[in-house]
Amino acid sequence: MGAVDPLAWVAPTAVVTGDVSIGPGSRVLAGAVLHGDLGPVRIGADVLVMENAVLRGRANHPLTIGDAVLVGPHAHLNGTVVEDEVFVATGVSMFPGSRAGRGSELRINSVLHVNSRLEPESVVPIGWIASGDPAQLFSPDQAEEWWQVQEGLDFPGTVYGVPRGTSMREIMRRQCQVFGPQEAD
């Protein structure tokens, strides 16, 4: 199980559940949710997790954040790896199996898609999508081009454990079971 380093601080209104480790000097601000019930969440030293960010570990994709990282307000990090000195701005989404290389920047409302790898020192512009391994950058108006890369990255298999084409009814039945009450060990 995880642990909060004595030199870290977690706001009283943040929620930390399950297997979560927080390194020295790190700060978790009001309303942030660190969900380690389904898989580990590992946060390094001197990381700032701002208000209302959601960080979720997954069994097959632990969430790992290196040192000296900013996670902006309303960011959503789900089963991703964030290397050292990365800037994750407000509203960024990072999906399972993704990786942001050292010193990269994900600007406001950008996306690092499932199973995609952002090279070190890269920048994802405001509202853009990074997809593929290595990631290619797509502006919001490039849906057709983006789909050609994204389709092969297996979003439904990675995130929900089902093949593409599985009905939403079946996906949600499974998800409601996964996120139901957790049995105590």
Tell me the C-alpha distance between 17 and 68, whole Å.
Answer: 23
Query: Taking the domains of the chain in order of start, what are their residue ranges?
Result: 9-153, 154-185
Digit-coded pLDDT (tens) for 10-54: 999 999 999 999 999 999 999 999 999 999 999 999 999 999 999
- Alpha carbon 127 to its chain centroid, in Å, reads 16
Arch. (CATH architecture) of 9-153 = 3 Solenoid (2.160)
Residue 184: pLDDT over 60: no
DSSP state of 153: G
pLDDT digits (tens, 9 = 90+) for 126-149: 999 999 999 999 999 988 888 888
Q: pLDDT (tens digit, 9 = 90+) per residue, 66-89?
A: 999 999 999 999 999 999 999 999
Query: Environment class of residue 59 by beta-carbon count within 10 Å: exposed (0-12), middle (13-18) or buried (19+)?
Result: exposed
